[in-house]
Amino acid sequence: MDFSLTPAQAEMQNRARQAAQEVKAQAARLNREGRFPQEILERWAQEGFFGISLPRAYGGGGGDYVSYALAQMELAQACPSSALMLHVNHSIVGMGLAQFGTGAQKSRYLPPAAQGEVLTSFALTEPRAGSDPARLQTAASRENDGWVLAGEKNFVTSGPMADFALVAARSDPTGPPHKSISLFLVDLKNTPGIKMGPVEEKMGLVGASSVSLHFDNAPLPPDAVLGEVNNGLKLALGIMDHARVGAAAMAVGIGRAALQEALSYAKSREQFGQPLAQLQSIQFKLADLATDLEAAALLTLKAAWLKDQGQPFGTAAAMAKKFATDAAMAAAQEGLQILGGYGYLKDYPLERFFRDAKAGQIYEGTNEIMRLIIARDLLRGV
Ligand SMILES: Cc1cc2nc3c(=O)[nH]c(=O)nc-3n(C[C@H](O)[C@H](O)[C@H](O)COP(=O)(O)OP(=O)(O)OC[C@H]3O[C@@H](n4cnc5c(N)ncnc54)[C@H](O)[C@@H]3O)c2cc1C
């Protein structure tokens, strides 16, 4: 087994590390001010991070998914909100288009998403369909040659800024879930009948604005369907497999950032006449966090590597997502504890990592749903 990185992977890791370092202070400031991280996204777009593993022919970098995971482990250390919006473009909408789009859809939508010229959204969740997307109610009805969308989506990341979205809707009101949902490419700026709710007030990831989308008989052209009509649930679940590897990588990044802050604080803060880092109970905390984050990184890279090899990676992605997001949450929680009262202040970054890490246990399938997937595959002998 060879754990070394290829020169291209190592180069990507180094570039992302440097880019993350450059925006670290700015990200903290923007977060405190509650501002959208436009400058950071523009910088990362210039660096080509939006298209790392997307096809070169459509404006991407043509790299492997291990490179993307390595980059996200660095970028999320600086600005988890920006990392999440980049992730939606790259691994949800971008990879979905690359895998299932027609030539015309890819030519129109993929280059601006892969180059970070526009933001994009994924709209699967609904007020009554979260963990169970098979029960979604947004309807897509045939009208003339095209479609008409009616219904509501919520928790749409990047929604207020996105140019277009991948929207899941029920295209056959009578069929079973796995044969009645389609994915639609929706131009959010130029389609009539789309309204946006106010930006949600989230506890964390505040830079990555989330909104609800309301479709009031929004007309879509016939070529708006991604992949086969009525096969959208399968496509969406496949796209989520990729996305979970990226979510795991972001969690590793947040966890490492939290550990790093706790480590340097423990070395400099003195109580009882010695640095906190000399206390064995603090050392044990640091050792546990470092071990779990290392295991999380390995699980994440293995899932990415399996995908790069064209092997099944859904179970590995679910394991990586569950383990890494739990490890990030533990690092943020215990890291904050190591800073004592100062960890609770907004002057220090731990409280932000704590709030940002929590989302990872919820989005892209909650960690309870990850356990269901892992158990289902275990019982099936996959
Ligand atoms: C920051 C953030 C960004 C998001 N971005 C997007 C986005 O861009 N696009 C999008 O479509 N969605 C997005 N989401 C929504 C997210 O995917 C859902 O919140 C998530 O899938 C859970 O759905 P729910 O909130 O409706 O919870 P519910 O499904 O109502 O679940 C509530 C609780 O019950 C548990 N539960 C549910 N079913 C089971 C079961 N069978 N067994 C055991 N436990 C169960 C869940 O794990 C959870 O703890 C985002 C969410 C957040 C927090």
**Ligand 1 atom closest to the CA of 205, numbered from 1:** 1
Say whether pLDDT at 382 is over 90. no
177: confidence class by pLDDT, cuts 50, 70, 90: confident
Express as a percent the part of the chain with pLDDT over 90. Answer: 97
Nearest to 349 by CA among 333, 362, 365, 336: 336
Q: Give the pLDDT mean for 304-328.
A: 98
Would you identify the CATH topology of the domain 234-380?
A: Butyryl-CoA Dehydrogenase, subunit A; domain 3 (1.20.140)
**What is the pTM (predicted TM-score) of this model?**
0.97
Confirm or reject: Cβ of 122 under 6 Å from ligand 1: yes
Look over the chain and give the mean of its residue pLDDT values, rounded to a whole number: 97
Class of domain 7-117: mainly alpha
Q: How far apart are CA 24 and CA 5, in angstroms?
A: 25
pLDDT of residue 311: 97
What is the radius of gyration, based on Cα positions, of the chain?
21
Confirm or reject: Cβ of 138 under 6 Å from ligand 1: no
Give a three-class secondary structure readout of 313-364.
CHHHHHHHHHHHHHHHHHHHHHHHHHCHHHHHCCCCCHHHHHHHHHHHCCCC
| CATH number belonging to the domain at 122-230, selected among 2.40.110.10, 1.50.10.100, 1.10.760.10, 3.50.50.100 | 2.40.110.10
Say whether pLDDT at 178 is over 90. no
Cα 284 to averaged position of ligand 1 atoms, centre (Å)? 33
Candidate of 124, 362, 373 to mutate for ligand 1, largest count of ligand atoms within 8 Å of Cβ:
362
Q: What's the pLDDT tens digit per position in 236-271?
A: 999 999 999 999 999 999 999 999 999 999 999 999
316: confidence class by pLDDT, cuts 50, 70, 90: very high
Candidate of 363, 364, 370, 372 to mutate for ligand 1, largest count of ligand atoms within 8 Å of Cβ:
363
Q: What's the pLDDT tens digit per position in 65-76?
A: 999 999 999 999
Q: How far apart are CA 119 and CA 40, in angstroms?
A: 13
Q: What's the pLDDT tens digit per position in 130-158?
A: 999 999 999 999 998 999 999 999 999 99
Nearest to 271 by CA among 349, 342, 347: 342
34: confidence class by pLDDT, cuts 50, 70, 90: confident
Confirm or reject: Cβ of 363 under 6 Å from ligand 1: yes
Q: What's the pLDDT tens digit per position in 180-192?
A: 999 999 999 999 9
Domain boundaries, the chain: 7-117, 122-230, 234-380
pLDDT of residue 169: 98
Provide the terminal-to-terminal Cα distance of the chain, rounded to the nearest Å. 22
Q: What's the pLDDT tens digit per position in 84-126?
A: 999 999 999 999 999 999 999 999 999 999 999 999 999 999 9
Torsion of CA 137, 225, 130, 200, to 10 degrees: -100
